[in-house]
Homo-oligomer: A and B are copies of this chain.
Amino acid sequence: MAQAQTLSRNQQIVLDIIEKAKGPLKAYSILYNVQKKGINAPQQIYRALDKLIEMGKIHKIESKNAFVACRSSDCEISKATAFSICESCEKVDEVSDAKLSKYLSSFNHKKGMKFKRFNLEFFGLCKKCK
Contact = CB atoms under 8 A, between A and B. Distances in A.
Contacts of A104: 120, 122
A123 B110 CA distance: 14
Given A103-B103, A109-B95, A111-B127, A118 B120 contact: yes
A84 to B, nearest CB: 5
Interface residues of A, number: 32
A109 B121 contact: no
A115 B123 contact: yes
Q: Can you list the 10 inter-chain pairs with the closest CB atoms, starting with the nearest?
A: A62-B62, A115-B124, A112-B127, A117-B123, A115-B122, A116-B124, A120-B120, A118-B122, A84-B109, A62-B63
Interface of A: 62-63, 84, 86-87, 93, 95, 97, 100, 103-104, 107, 109-127, 130
